[in-house]
Structure 1
């Protein structure tokens, strides 16, 4: 018997319709803390016990199909086949694994100051995660969007045990230095503070630190990954880095020299990204990159 997979898509206005007909509408009448973005909805879902009503539960943005290049039905079918998994997910940016050792290397280049703000938030919230000691994020743990569905166990351990303490801290201490730091605006295709980018990266971080959790990642072959590159420069980087990164992932060993090379390539990629999309619309938003 297939497990039940409930994926909710947030509905923010009366004239908004579901982008994925297979998803469930989650009407948002409470627009408090909009700067938290999907983090607020995940917390509300957990506190409401929404994760207890299905075998797998998730929250996907209306841009799921645009970013992932697959239908909602395809992902649900994939998740239903993973009978013993605690989490099933898809990473709509698989190319980033070829020039970023983990989500925090990419995050620090994309949003300077992110790792310092994130560690201060984790420490203040009592969450025992060291960003500096985060391991490699390869295809088995990497996800740059909240495109995951989790079992009740995963919701309790990750959302309840990691995200809720962060929300509790921010709600109780809005003037704390760590709280103010994560609300600082950062570069993005539309105005946004550090917080949602921190939360987004905690998924891969948590999964990589908990090997006891059974996970199922939607896999791409090499030609698929190249198709996810959003411009010619990304395709060039992928072509140049592919062999050595695949070899290192297969061996489970990244030399310091390779990690340093990835950091350099990641810096070059980010510089090109901001320069290129400063005057061009980003394919996922239709807007240029700006400082919030």
Structure 2
């Protein structure tokens, strides 16, 4: 009997259409807790047992193809070729691996205070995760955005034992200091709190800490990675960092000097990113990026 794969795409309004015809529409007419973004839907899918109806289940935003540059049919074919793993995923920002040691280094530069908020959240939820001890995230574990498809086992272990306790805590204690902190607005292409960026980064964190879970990452060659750079500054960083980072990944050893250099490069990337897109439309939204304090003045 062949295994079944379902990738759901949320439908928020009657006039919305699927961006990937191969995906399954998931109508969210009420769209409760929109500030949670896909996190709320993943939790509902787990609680409703939606993941039990298929061998592999995922939830991809309507911006999947825009961000990943891969069609829904191409990704589904990739999953079909890897039905012996627990999770298949694609990272729409492969270039970030060349100037960020892991998702939290990039996250802290892009969203200052993210690491502290994330650690407080996982502590409050009773999870045994130390953000500061997160290992290297190379192309085999790196995934920005929730573009993953998981087996029933993966849903039980990752969503059930990691994401669900976070949701339970936030729902039970919305006035808790930690809960309020993760709902604080951060800088992004769209107004959003810390929470969805923490959740996105927990995927790479979890799979890198659980090697017993088999995984398959959609692979990019060097030419393709460079094409994912969204401006000339990113291309310069990629060209300068590529050889030494690839060598470190191949050897499995990142010397402190290289990690420090990546941290510096990440800081420069962040500065350029927000300066540049403060006056230029971001390719994923068509809108400039606003700092949280600027939104209050808009």
Same fold flag (TM > 0.5): yes
Q: Check whether the contact 1:2–1:81 (CA below 8 A) recurs between aligned residues.
A: no
Cα distance in 2, alignment partners of residues 280 and 262 from structure 1: 26
SS at structure 2 position matched to 1:290:
coil
Structure 2 counterpart of 1:90: 90
Kindly tell me the number of residue pairs found equivalent between the two proteins: 292
SS at structure 1 position matched to 2:6:
strand
Structure 2 counterpart of 1:252: 252
Deviations 1:177-198 (A, max 9, x none): 1101000000001110000000
Query: Normalised by the size of structure 1, how large is the TM-score?
Result: 0.99
SS at structure 2 position matched to 1:216:
strand
Deviations 1:61-117 (A, max 9, x none): 000001111100000010011121000000000000000000000000000000000
Cα distance in 2, alignment partners of residues 34 and 290 from structure 1: 19
Structure 1 counterpart of 2:61: 61
Cα distance in 1, alignment partners of residues 122 and 39 from structure 2: 15
Q: Check whether the contact 1:108–1:115 (CA below 8 A) recurs between aligned residues.
A: yes
Q: Check whether the contact 1:114–1:194 (CA below 8 A) recurs between aligned residues.
A: yes
Structure 1 counterpart of 2:14: 14
Structure 1 counterpart of 2:264: 264
Task: Report the alpha carbon displacement of residue 263 of structure 1 after superposing the two structures with TM.
Answer: 0.2
Cα distance in 2, alignment partners of residues 2 and 230 from structure 1: 39
Task: Report the alpha carbon displacement of residue 31 of structure 1 after superposing the two structures with TM.
Answer: 1.9
SS at structure 2 position matched to 1:196:
helix
Q: How do 1:187-206 and structure 2 match up within 5 A?
A: 187-206=187-206
Asked if 1:210 is matched to 2:210, the reply is: yes
Cα distance in 2, alignment partners of residues 121 and 198 from structure 1: 9
Task: Report the alpha carbon displacement of residue 5 of structure 1 after superposing the two structures with TM.
Answer: 1.1
SS at structure 2 position matched to 1:258:
helix
Cα distance in 2, alignment partners of residues 291 and 44 from structure 1: 31
Task: Report the alpha carbon displacement of residue 199 of structure 1 after superposing the two structures with TM.
Answer: 0.2
Cα distance in 1, alignment partners of residues 84 and 157 from structure 2: 17
Structure 2 counterpart of 1:121: 121
Q: Check whether the contact 1:282–1:289 (CA below 8 A) recurs between aligned residues.
A: yes
Unaligned runs of 5+ in 1: none
Cα distance in 2, alignment partners of residues 152 and 77 from structure 1: 19
Task: Report the alpha carbon displacement of residue 285 of structure 1 after superposing the two structures with TM.
Answer: 0.7
Structure 1 counterpart of 2:177: 177
Deviations 1:228-248 (A, max 9, x none): 000000000000000000000
Task: Report the alpha carbon displacement of residue 223 of structure 1 after superposing the two structures with TM.
Answer: 0.2
Unaligned runs of 5+ in 2: 293-298
SS at structure 1 position matched to 2:187:
strand
Query: Normalised by the size of structure 2, how large is the TM-score?
Result: 0.97
SS at structure 1 position matched to 2:8:
strand
SS at structure 2 position matched to 1:163:
helix
Deviations 1:106-165 (A, max 9, x none): 000000000000000000000110000000000110000100000000000000000000
Task: Report the alpha carbon displacement of residue 2 of structure 1 after superposing the two structures with TM.
Answer: 4.5
Structure 1 counterpart of 2:140: 140
Cα distance in 2, alignment partners of residues 47 and 287 from structure 1: 35
Task: Report the alpha carbon displacement of residue 291 of structure 1 after superposing the two structures with TM.
Answer: 2.3
Task: Report the alpha carbon displacement of residue 30 of structure 1 after superposing the two structures with TM.
Answer: 2.3
Asked if 1:231 is matched to 2:210, the reply is: no
Cα distance in 2, alignment partners of residues 3 and 86 from structure 1: 13
SS at structure 2 position matched to 1:150:
strand
Structure 2 counterpart of 1:168: 168
Cα distance in 2, alignment partners of residues 29 and 262 from structure 1: 43
Task: Report the alpha carbon displacement of residue 4 of structure 1 after superposing the two structures with TM.
Answer: 1.4
Q: Check whether the contact 1:98–1:242 (CA below 8 A) recurs between aligned residues.
A: yes
